[in-house]
Amino acid sequence: MRNAGEAREGGDSRGVDRTARYVLDIVPESAGPRRATARGSVIHSVRGPGSQTFLAKEHSAGIVLKPGRNFRASLGSDRITEYDAPVGCLVINPAGVDSTFAWSQARENAVVSISPEALSGLAAHESDFADAELDPPAFGTVDLKALNIARMITAELTGKLPPNELYLDSLLTVFGVHLLRTYTGRGRPAVSSKGRLSAVGARRVREYLDENFARKVMVAELASVAGISPNHFIASFAGTFGMPPHRYLINLRLDFAERLLADGELSIAQVAYLAGFSDQSHLAATMKKFRGRTPTNAGNASVKD
């Protein structure tokens, strides 16, 4: 691993006058491509089982690109948290806060770091104060917007053409603004005083279910998306959407199945599979119970309409 001075002189930082990129030193070069920009640095990292302990000199964030299990981490204390990390899981390490992280299997993620000065500059544009104190979410929290930005960063770093530093710096800026709007005191998702999900939490859960309704979705997974504990999630979900999570998921599957049946291009068995049901009988029984009709009736009714 190169030291900080060598990292600044290497190809990742060439031609840019900037401070040391400590994150570039923490993640070994063998992990994957990286680039330093005017505001920070970005890395696409694939690493085998291991661990690391460090004191962040810049604000850094890791976004999981492939799911993993049994991670162990601490942030700013000796308390170790064990958690599973679905795709889109976001871990934020504010500058000046020490952390430990251990993983028992290969993992792939995007790492984004931004200097405190750069984040304060972005904060000044957001409000009258350059207050950029980050409030990290709970370990295991999924952030779909951060995932989208991370995927664009990864595509640029791993593409056939050399990475465009200005483009990466623009993505890093967008990521920094997202951190400010979502993970400072004014923007962190939470449960409202009325026992409902916050507007941000509800939107994230709704978008996540819209994309994943056809597979098995765990309550702990949805709680991570919302940024709250599993113990409070079901009641907060029901208070927000008017029904428990499993009923909401069933409605999404049935709505999708009825649209496919209306098209009439697939067999009932194919529709059942695509909509997340175990087989044709499972679809028929569920539709009869909750919609009062069979898949055949649903298709015929739509044709008549």
The CATH number of residue 108's host domain is 2.60.120.10
- First and final C-alpha spacing in the chain: 67
C-alpha–C-alpha distance, residues 215 and 36, integer Å: 38
Q: How many domains does the chain have?
A: 3
Residues 219 and 117 in one domain: no
- Is the residue at 193 inside a domain? no
- Is the residue at 94 inside a domain? yes
Q: How many residues does the chain have?
A: 305
pLDDT at res. 299: 65
- Is the residue at 264 inside a domain? yes
- Is the residue at 191 inside a domain? no
Q: What backbone torsions phi and psi does residue 2 show, to the nearest 5 degrees?
A: -80, 155
Give, to the nearest 10 degrees, the angle between helix 219-226 and helix 199-212: 140
Q: Are 98 and 104 in contact (CB under 8 A)?
A: no
Enclosing H/E stretch for 114: strand 107-114
Q: Are 225 and 140 in contact (CB under 8 A)?
A: no
Q: Look up the domain containing 225 and give its range.
A: 199-242
Beta bridge partners of 38: none
Q: Which residue's structure tokens are 């840019």?
A: 16
Query: What is the dihedral angle through the alpha carbons of 47, 50, 52, 58, rounded to the nearest 10 degrees?
Result: 20
Beta bridge partners of 55: 98
Residues 160 and 255 in one domain: no
Residues 157 and 11 in one domain: yes
- Is the residue at 187 inside a domain? no
Residues 257 and 230 in one domain: no
- Is the residue at 192 inside a domain? no
- Is the residue at 130 inside a domain? yes
Residues 264 and 139 in one domain: no
Rg of the chain (C-alpha set): 23
Residues 172 and 259 in one domain: no
Residues 172 and 277 in one domain: no
Residues 120 and 210 in one domain: no
Q: Are 280 and 296 in contact (CB under 8 A)?
A: no
Give, to the nearest 10 degrees, the angle between helix 199-212 and helix 230-241: 90
Residues 156 and 222 in one domain: no
Over its length of 305 residues, how does the chain's per-residue pLDDT go in tens digits? 333 333 333 334 333 334 445 566 678 788 889 998 888 999 999 999 998 887 777 889 999 999 998 899 988 877 889 988 899 999 998 888 888 899 999 999 999 999 888 888 888 776 654 556 788 888 888 999 999 999 999 999 999 999 999 999 999 999 999 998 888 755 444 445 457 888 888 888 999 999 999 998 888 888 888 878 777 888 889 899 999 899 999 999 999 999 999 988 999 999 999 999 999 999 999 999 999 989 987 766 544 44
- Is the residue at 190 inside a domain? no
Sort 129 into a burial class: Cβ within 10 Å, 0-12 / 13-18 / 19+: exposed
Q: Beta-strand (E) ranges in the chain? A: 34-36, 40-47, 50-55, 59-64, 68-75, 81-85, 90-93, 98-103, 107-114
Residues 275 and 236 in one domain: no
0.85 cut: is pTM over it? no
Residues 226 and 121 in one domain: no
Residues 9 and 157 in one domain: yes
